[in-house]
């Protein structure tokens, strides 16, 4: 087998370069364009999320760049190897964790992991060392002599990830890694995924959980109907779509003046005032200002208001959610798409 040694690069280098990648499935009645000519790059040391509802093309994309599904058009380079002509070399440099898991219920955890490592050409001694390291890093040490079918959902998912990492790949693909896990197991798995990135492994994951993409990903590719409809960091996507909203509690008599001062101090996309306060304080109003970057606007805004003798009783900065982004881009909620 070709080398299984990890291949590393500079953060600015693409570990994945995709151009025009497409996959069409032909049924008895029609051609289904699951992925429609997408372009994207992934750089070393990133966690990249493919975000979208079921049927958006996320898993099909992942399976193509993992050499498990042949594209019908386009090209890609993965960890320095051509997807079409060097598929075996690509497979030696990546790990892949599917949605359904990879373990055999009747096999011992340790045996499953050692077998996987041996299939990638590692010696028995090297495989055993890697398994011991992974068991500690992914917190399933002490479970190595248990059968896979005896593990909890969170334990089993960590072993699944261990199967994808046991040969120490440069790049790992995680397809819906936390589906079906309880909140605590999910949060623990997020920590493990972040640790992988911090230790130099590039991670590409699919998800339709908005909070997961927001919490984990350095960059997100939003997919819908087989295409990439937007990409960027979570904060970039939110700012691009609708900006941040700064809400100020101001004396009603000063609310209009506060808006004028704010619009002269910072760039305000939209402003409005409301008289209804949750705490019911009489004589107070809420001023809402939509700006590009709420955090950056707070200091000059407060300085300008203070110079005019206007002191807010409270201030909050709210960023739009990724669901707001998806709704704006596609005209439907991501959660609605997931139910369909």
> Measured between alpha carbons, how far is 242 from 263 in angstroms, rounded to an integer?
17
Residues 306 and 165 in one domain: no
Question: Given this model, what pLDDT does residue 325 score?
Answer: 80
pLDDT at residue 340 is higher than 70: no
| pLDDT-wise least confident of 39-43, 51-55, 67-71, 225-229 | 51-55
- Region 160-184: what's the mean pLDDT? 92
User: Biggest alpha carbon distance in the chain?
Assistant: 78
Strand 31-43 relative to strand 227-232, pairing? unpaired
SS3 call for 86:
coil
* Placement of tokens 């005019």 in the chain: 308
Residues 219 and 263 in one domain: no
* CA separation, residue 257 to residues 135, 245, 311 (Å): 62, 18, 12
Q: How many CB atoms lie under 10 A from the CB of residue 142?
A: 10
- Region 67-95: what's the mean pLDDT? 96
Quote the number of domains for the chain: 2
Question: Given this model, what pLDDT does residue 82 score?
Answer: 96
Residues 231 and 263 in one domain: no
- Region 87-112: what's the mean pLDDT? 93
> Measured between alpha carbons, how far is 11 from 164 in angstroms, rounded to an integer?
22
The sign of the CA dihedral 269, 273, 277, 282 is positive
- Region 11-19: what's the mean pLDDT? 86
Question: Given this model, what pLDDT does residue 52 score?
Answer: 87
End position of a domain, from candidates 218, 238, 258: 238
- Region 116-140: what's the mean pLDDT? 94
What is the pTM for the complete model shown? 0.77
In a domain? residue 161 = yes
Structure tokens at 281: 């304080």
pLDDT at residue 338 is higher than 70: no
Question: Given this model, what pLDDT does residue 296 score?
Answer: 93
What CATH code is carried by the domain that includes residue 166? 3.40.50.300
> Measured between alpha carbons, how far is 2 from 317 in angstroms, rounded to an integer?
53
Question: Given this model, what pLDDT does residue 235 score?
Answer: 87
In a domain? residue 171 = yes
Question: Given this model, what pLDDT does residue 2 score?
Answer: 40
Question: Given this model, what pLDDT does residue 146 score?
Answer: 95
In a domain? residue 2 = no
Chain segment 285-324, per-residue pLDDT in tens? 889 898 988 999 999 999 999 999 999 989 999 888 888 7
Residues 72 and 164 in one domain: yes
First vs last C-alpha separation in the chain: 43
Per the prediction, the chain carries an average pLDDT of: 89
Strand 202-207 relative to strand 171-175, pairing? parallel
Residues 138 and 55 in one domain: yes
* Placement of tokens 């920590």 in the chain: 191
For 292-323, letters b (16+ CB in 10 Å) and e give eebeebbeebbebbeeeebebeebeeebbbbe
Residues 263 and 218 in one domain: no
Chain segment 179-222, per-residue pLDDT in tens? 888 888 889 899 999 999 999 999 999 998 889 999 999 999 99
- Domain hosting 271: range is 244-318
Chain segment 239-286, per-residue pLDDT in tens? 777 678 899 999 999 999 999 999 999 999 888 888 765 555 678 888
Element (H, E) at 105: none
- Region 159-173: what's the mean pLDDT? 95
Question: Given this model, what pLDDT does residue 337 score?
Answer: 47
Residues 190 and 312 in one domain: no
Question: Given this model, what pLDDT does residue 290 score?
Answer: 87
Q: Using 50, 70 and 90 to split pLDDT, how confident is the model at 8?
A: low
Higher pLDDT, 262 or 13: 262
In a domain? residue 147 = yes
Residues 265 and 223 in one domain: no
């Amino acid at each position: 087998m070709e080398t299984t040694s990890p291949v590393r690069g500079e953060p600015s280098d693409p570990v994945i370069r995709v151009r025009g990648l497409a996959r069409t499935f032909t049924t008895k009645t029609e051609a289904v364009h699951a992925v429609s000519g997408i372009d994207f790059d992934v750089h070393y040391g990133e966690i990249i999320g493919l975000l979208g509802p079921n049927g958006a093309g996320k898993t099909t994309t992942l399976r193509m760049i993992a050499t498990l599904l042949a594209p019908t058009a386009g090209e890609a380079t993965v960890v320095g190897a051509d997807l079409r002509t060097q598929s075996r070399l690509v497979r030696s440099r990546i790990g892949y964790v599917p949605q359904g898991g990879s373990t055999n219920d009747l096999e011992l955890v340790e045996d499953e992991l050692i077998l996987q490592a041996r299939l990638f050409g590692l010696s028995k001694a090297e495989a055993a060392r890697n398994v011991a390291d992974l068991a500690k890093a992914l917190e399933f040490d002490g479970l190595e002599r248990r059968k896979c079918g005896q593990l909890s959902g969170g334990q089993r998912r960590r072993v699944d990830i261990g199967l994808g990492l046991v040969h120490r790949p440069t790049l790992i693909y995680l397809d819906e890694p936390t589906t079906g896990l309880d909140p605590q197991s999910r949060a623990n798995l997020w920590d493990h995924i972040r640790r992988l990135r911090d230790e130099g492994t590039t991670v590409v994951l699919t998800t339709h959980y908005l909070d997961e993409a927001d919490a984990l990903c350095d960059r997100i590719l939003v997919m819908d109907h087989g295409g990439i409809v937007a990409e960027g960091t979570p904060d970039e996507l939110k700012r691009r779509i609708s900006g941040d909203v700064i809400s100020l509690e101001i004396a009603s008599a000063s609310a209009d003046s506060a808006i004028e001062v704010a619009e002269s101090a910072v760039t305000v996309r939209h402003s409005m005032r409301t008289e209804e306060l949750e705490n019911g304080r009489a004589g107070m109003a809420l001023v809402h200002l939509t700006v590009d970057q709420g955090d950056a606007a707070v200091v000059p805004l407060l300085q300008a208001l203070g110079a005019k003798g206007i002191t807010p009783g409270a201030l909050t900065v709210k960023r739009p959610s990724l669901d707001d982004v998806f709704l704006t881009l596609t005209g439907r909620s991501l959660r609605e798409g997931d139910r369909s």
